[in-house]
A and B are shown apart, each in its own frame.
Chain A
């Protein structure tokens, strides 16, 4: 294997290509990070690609304490927690029933759920809007939690069944012999065993929920109910003349949580995102 690759010229070419792509991939993020430290003077007089003259925290102060960013942050967290809790609580038992309790319609039930992965959210957006409008759910956290939980379920159930299928039945039979009910088997044995699936589901969905734009832009019209991605936009317009320094600081603060999680769990995040995308 090694001998097939170690042509020296080829390796140098590889590293050059890598370096170029790396710069392209990372530059926008790097640039927004450095720009968030620029003072108004830096912005006005330095060329846009120049580094800031010093570490100026004023932009962050403005973003944190003189705007609704903290509120948006809270909204995003609450929505994420709601969706994730809903997904696990609903998805795991359903997957258990489909993969471990033998019943006639289990195959059909699974394909019925998986059908949902084909449906674009735009096909549901208008009726959702009308339903939530009539039920008074607009501008509540539920209006973001419900659709994301509903559309997240197919993938969640798919990943759980994919794991649970391979848990040996003998394990569960032994527990049943000792008098455990199906629910106890699920809660005490299968669900703890599926920890890795749970982590994958949480990571994949967290990234998506944190970055979700369409629902938040459609259902949340009150300014104090906005989530971070939409709030970022609002923030730009709010300052009249766009205060780009504060905007950059807000962007940095908004992407920080995912970056921190990614920093510690990058392997899980990459695998989780890929597993979520490669559904079949």
Chain B
């Protein structure tokens, strides 16, 4: 269709564009600006140039936080992608009950992280005794306060986050497997392909692109991880489960260091863009090999 007059398309898109620019684009640029100032929200802003960024290099808490976040990302990615993939493989191989299983398996995805955190807080609590502790006692184990134990807190946060989201990847992988034409698999079967080989040589390579898509989602999501850590442990005990997003949030809104907080938020932006870029590079390289 041709526009009636020159600015007709803009008439259609201008409202969305204006809202988008004012709500998303301008604040991002604004963040860049804030990150050059020292400011607590009340007194006047003091221009400090790149000092906030220089401060990051000496900030030991930030170091711990980044390390935590990388662990959160690595374990979370492996856990979510593998459990999603295994579930999808199993569900696409059984006929009876596959649908209802899929429906049930997806439920945690639609429950708010606040509700999930509250449930797990109680399940894991020691005083009053929660289910996990009670079961530990039944087996004669020494009860462990998983959430207040620095060694365990991050892992528990990672797993609960993974618990919430792995259903999503199951659905994505499942629909990818379902879209593979039966002809291909049948032809392979006639050529003497076994059950395991059909995955190794046909199905998994065929959904390679979906793999990268999922990887982008998981990595992007875990790098920005916030809810579970913030609600369940508030980054604690100490900094044991602090993530970059929670650290940034607390720096800005609890200690009202808006300048440094903005610098951290810029770091978060750059970090997630970089990570996605890396995955994309691998993807295009994997595509070229063929």
Contact = CB atoms under 8 A, between A and B. Distances in A.
Contacts of A15: 94
A228 B114 CA distance: 9
A189 B253 CA distance: 48
- Max chain A CB contacts within 10 Å: which of B2, B90, B134, B245? B90
B168 A273 contact: yes
6 closest Cβ contacts across the A-B interface?
A150-B23, A211-B112, A97-B12, A127-B30, A124-B27, A94-B16
Interface residues on B, range: 35 or more
Interface of chain A, main secondary structure: helix
A131 B25 CA distance: 13
A113 B21 CA distance: 9
Contacts of A128: 23, 27
A223 interface: no
B83 interface: yes
A188 to B, nearest CB: 14
A146 interface: yes
A101 B1 contact: yes
B262 interface: yes
B104 A182 contact: no
Contact of B24 (A24, A47, A150): A150
A266 B171 CA distance: 12
A157 B16 contact: yes
B274 to A, nearest CB: 11
A153 interface: yes
Interface of chain B, main secondary structure: helix
B20 A120 contact: no
B34 to A, nearest CB: 6
Interface of A: 1, 3-5, 7, 10-11, 14-15, 17-18, 21-22, 24-26, 28-29, 31-32, 35, 43, 47-49, 86, 89-91, 93-94, 96-98, 100-103, 106, 109, 113, 116, 118-131, 146-147, 149-151, 153-154, 157, 169, 172-173, 176, 181-182, 185-186, 207, 210-211, 213-214, 218, 228-230, 232-233, 236, 244, 247-248, 251, 254-255, 258-259, 262, 266, 269-271, 273-274, 277-278, 280
Interface stretch (B61-69, B118-126, B142-150): B118-126
A58 B198 CA distance: 55
Contacts of A154: 20
B150 to A, nearest CB: 23
Interface string B104-144: 11111111111110111011000011110011000000000
A174 B269 CA distance: 47
B168 A277 contact: yes
Given A3-B189, A25-B104, A120-B224, A127 B16 contact: no
B235 to A, nearest CB: 14
B168 A1 contact: no
Given A127-B27, A182-B3, A211-B111, A277 B87 contact: no
B77 to A, nearest CB: 14
B172 to A, nearest CB: 5
B28 interface: yes
